[in-house]
Amino acid sequence: MLEKSLQNHQKAFKKTLASYKPLFETEDIGRIISLAGPIAQAEGLAGVHAEELVRFADGTLGMVSSLNPKVAGVILLGSAENIRAGSEIRRLGRVVDICIGRELLGRVIDGTGVPLDTKGPLPDLERRPIEQPAPPIMRRAPVTAPLETGIKVIDGLIPIGKGQRELILGDRQTGKTAIALDTIVNQKDKNIICIYAAIGQRESSTAKVIHELNLHGAMEYTIVVVATGQDATGLQFITPYAATTIAEYFMEQGKDVLIVYDDLTRHARAYRELSLLLERSPGREAYPGDIFYIHSRLLERSTHLRPEYGNGSITALPVIETEAQNLAAYIPTNLISITDGQIYLSPDLFAKGFLPAVDVGKSVSRVGGKAQKAGFRDLVGQLRLSYSQFEELETFSRFASRLDAETTKNLERGKRLRELLRQDRFQGYRDFEQIIIMLALTEGLLDQVPMEKIRETEDMIRSQAANQLVELCREISKGRILTEKDKEKICHFIKDIPGLGQEAQAPAVKG
Ligand code: ATP
Ligand code: MG
């Protein structure tokens, strides 16, 4: 009897204990001792972790960056306007994180997941730390599928594969953002999720990008993560990591993701500012010693996963700005060595109106060629080489008064190729259109077309190919290698185009 009552008591006691909530909860609260721009020094945060999230008295968030036994350096992730020395700072017990989920598609958010558009608050979403280890080697697969940008000069001569990291670099106002943006717009209906991370740009430029994405119906598969130049330096610093965490969420589900970092020069500058204020010793160009590491750890997260891990991929297009065409500066050389190739935009070509101003000689894609569709590889394999030869030839031909027939032919063909590589904005080309046009060139069908008519002719070929060669176009898109018969068929089709001009139908000069 006594035993039973004891047991009941024990049970009741356990139940009370389980439901017991203390009236007071302990919280780690520190105090700000100094504030210098985007960095606050706080004391009393014993036991705090690196990259832990803290909240200032006015609600602004901060990220703990440097740890000393007594004083912690905190990077502000918001405005310092209402932060005073001596005010409180609270530990939040978690590292800096971002929300993830399909609900983010079509939204514009900042690096902590706060929506910046007018579509209302986000639903309650899962959150993940913005810093994640890159996928281990054994989970990675080689780059095998092409990522079609729809831009002729890139798809033909500097092809990009899914899971590749291709740098876009050039001086200011050379069309870097235009290439990245056109690539996003051209992914429509290709089942690719795009993420545009705008880092440290003018608000007006970012607004223009968002407007253009909306205008071309690209927002439905795109997420924009923004920290403009006016935003807190800390926010600019975390933006690319946050954007990559969102990309990883989709990659893990087996999706193909395209992520644009526009641009990492400003990201590097933001980090330099933070590091100098945290009193870390400056190195080359006053950048801290770990600048290479912060970029490589970011870009290593982009990869192509093996089929047993879902076969997803993240293709990264980091953008950087060069000064006075200096590719050998610190940040450009770092990023050139981290990425799998670069697309260099030349201000000279831009000034001459050859847009997109891609300098083919200085651009390279180290892995994309293997992923190019068979039809393409077969056809344009020689094009890159002959294009560089043409550029050399053109320089020399200025001095030579008389040129032999072969040289003249190569020169004329090169000029036509350069003309064909010109492309207006938001005019994506499908793979078969590009292949048919390049075939017309290599088969010499355009040799007799006057230069000023080249683009008109190209438009004609393009508009009629899809209607007249339906079956063949579909096969090319599936990756079929063109047989001699296919080539003949295409040549016949081109020669029959009315208005191509009698002169264009002269016997083809086999290239
Ligand atoms: P910034 O250094 O300011 O970031 P950027 O290198 O990103 O500049 P963009 O803003 O992309 O350059 O382009 C500069 C201008 O060139 C824009 O007005 C853009 O519309 C124009 N432009 C770029 N590419 C083309 C093109 N293929 N056809 C026509 N105009 C183009
Ligand atoms: Mg730009």
What is the CATH classification number for the domain harbouring 161?
Answer: 3.40.50.300
Split at pLDDT 50, 70, 90, the class of 369 is confident
**Mean pLDDT, rounded, of the chain:** 90
Mutate to test the pocket of ligand 1, among 149, 173, 228 (most ligand atoms within 8 A of CB): 173
**CATH number of 476's domain:** 1.20.150.20
Of the two residues 178 and 447, the one the predictor is more confident about is 178
Split at pLDDT 50, 70, 90, the class of 53 is very high
Structure tokens at 26: 């302990």
Note the ligand closest to the C-alpha atom of 349. Answer: 1
Rounded distance from Cα 219 to ligand 1 centre (Å): 20
Same domain assignment for residues 461 and 328 = no
Residues 352 and 350: their CA atoms lie apart, in Å, by 5
Ligand 1: atom nearest CA of 263 is: 4
Ligand 1: atom nearest CA of 356 is: 27
Does residue 4 lie within any of the structural domains? Answer: no
Split at pLDDT 50, 70, 90, the class of 395 is confident
Q: Tell whether the model's pLDDT for residue 501 goes beyond 70.
A: no
Does residue 481 lie within any of the structural domains? Answer: yes
pLDDT in tens, 58-109: 999 999 998 888 899 999 999 999 898 899 999 998 999 999 999 999 999 9
CA-closest residue to ligand 1 atom 24:
175
Does residue 115 lie within any of the structural domains? Answer: yes
Residues 114 and 120: their CA atoms lie apart, in Å, by 10
Same domain assignment for residues 145 and 229 = yes
| Sequence letter at residue 255 | K
Does residue 313 lie within any of the structural domains? Answer: yes
Residues 159 and 367: their CA atoms lie apart, in Å, by 8
pLDDT in tens, 110-124: 999 999 999 999 999
Task: Tell me how far CA of residue 388 lies from CA of 80, 152, 417, 418, 442, in angstroms.
Answer: 53, 16, 11, 11, 15
Does residue 14 lie within any of the structural domains? Answer: no
pLDDT in tens, 270-325: 999 999 999 899 999 999 999 999 999 999 999 999 999 999 999 999 999 999 99
CB contact burial 9-46 (16+ within 10 A = b; e otherwise): eeeeeeeeeeeeeeeeeeebebebeebeebbbbbebbe
Of the two residues 506 and 445, the one the predictor is more confident about is 445
Same domain assignment for residues 103 and 85 = no
Same domain assignment for residues 283 and 352 = yes
Q: Rounded to two decimals, what is the model's pTM?
A: 0.91
Same domain assignment for residues 158 and 288 = yes
pLDDT of residue 401: 65
pLDDT of residue 67: 85
Same domain assignment for residues 368 and 379 = no
Split at pLDDT 50, 70, 90, the class of 496 is confident
Q: Tell whether the model's pLDDT for residue 358 goes beyond 70.
A: yes
Same domain assignment for residues 429 and 445 = yes
Rounded distance from Cα 350 to ligand 2 centre (Å): 14
Same domain assignment for residues 360 and 283 = yes
pLDDT (mean) for 167-186: 97
Q: Which residues contact 268 (CB under 8 A, 6 or more apart)?
A: 287, 291, 295, 331
pLDDT of residue 23: 64
pLDDT of residue 504: 45
Q: Which residues pair with 288 in a beta bridge?
A: 282
pLDDT of residue 26: 64
Does residue 18 lie within any of the structural domains? Answer: no
Q: Which residues contact 44 (CB under 8 A, 6 or more apart)?
A: 28, 29, 30, 31
Split at pLDDT 50, 70, 90, the class of 12 is confident
The residue out of 72, 95, 118 marking a domain boundary is 95
Does residue 295 lie within any of the structural domains? Answer: yes
Of 119-123, 151-155, 202-206, 380-384, the range with the lowest mean pLDDT is 380-384
What percentage of the chain carries pLDDT values higher than 90? 65
**CATH number of 37's domain:** 2.40.30.20
Note the ligand closest to the C-alpha atom of 174. Answer: 1
Give the pairing type, strands 71-76 and 61-67. antiparallel
Same domain assignment for residues 76 and 114 = no
pLDDT in tens, 250-266: 999 999 999 999 999 99
Residues 302 and 80: their CA atoms lie apart, in Å, by 34
Active site positions, annotated = 366
Task: Tell me how far CA of residue 52 lies from CA of 18, 91, 227, 423, in angstroms.
Answer: 30, 8, 20, 47
**Residue 69: which domain range?**
29-95
CA-closest residue to ligand 1 atom 20:
178
Mutate to test the pocket of ligand 1, among 176, 260, 264 (most ligand atoms within 8 A of CB): 176
Residues in the chain: 511
Split at pLDDT 50, 70, 90, the class of 479 is confident
pLDDT of residue 508: 43
pLDDT (mean) for 405-421: 88
The residue out of 95, 130, 150 marking a domain boundary is 95
Q: Tell whether the model's pLDDT for residue 464 goes beyond 60.
A: yes
pLDDT (mean) for 462-473: 85
Of the two residues 350 and 46, the one the predictor is more confident about is 350
pLDDT (mean) for 478-501: 81
Task: Tell me how far CA of residue 228 lies from CA of 266, 359, 506, in angstroms.
Answer: 10, 29, 56
Structure tokens at 311: 């076969």
pLDDT of residue 68: 85
Which helix H or strand E contains 178, and what residues bound it? helix 176-185
Number of domains forming the structure of the chain:
3
Same domain assignment for residues 316 and 399 = no
Residue 454: other Cβ atoms inside 10 A: 19
pLDDT (mean) for 454-467: 88
Q: Tell whether the model's pLDDT for residue 207 goes beyond 70.
A: yes
Rounded distance from Cα 345 to ligand 1 centre (Å): 10
The residue out of 53, 79, 95 marking a domain boundary is 95
Split at pLDDT 50, 70, 90, the class of 505 is very low
DSSP, collapsed to helix, strand or coil, labels residue 413 as helix
Same domain assignment for residues 114 and 243 = yes
Residue 213: other Cβ atoms inside 10 A: 22
Task: Show the CA angle centred on residue 316, arms to residues 314 and 322, nearest 5°.
Answer: 175
Split at pLDDT 50, 70, 90, the class of 382 is confident
Does residue 9 lie within any of the structural domains? Answer: no
Taking alpha carbons only, the member of 211, 156, 221 closest to residue 186 is 221
Rounded distance from Cα 201 to ligand 2 centre (Å): 8
pLDDT of residue 470: 84
Split at pLDDT 50, 70, 90, the class of 25 is low
Q: Which residues line ligand 1 (CB under 6 A)?
A: 170, 172-178, 321, 355-356, 423-425
Same domain assignment for residues 140 and 216 = yes
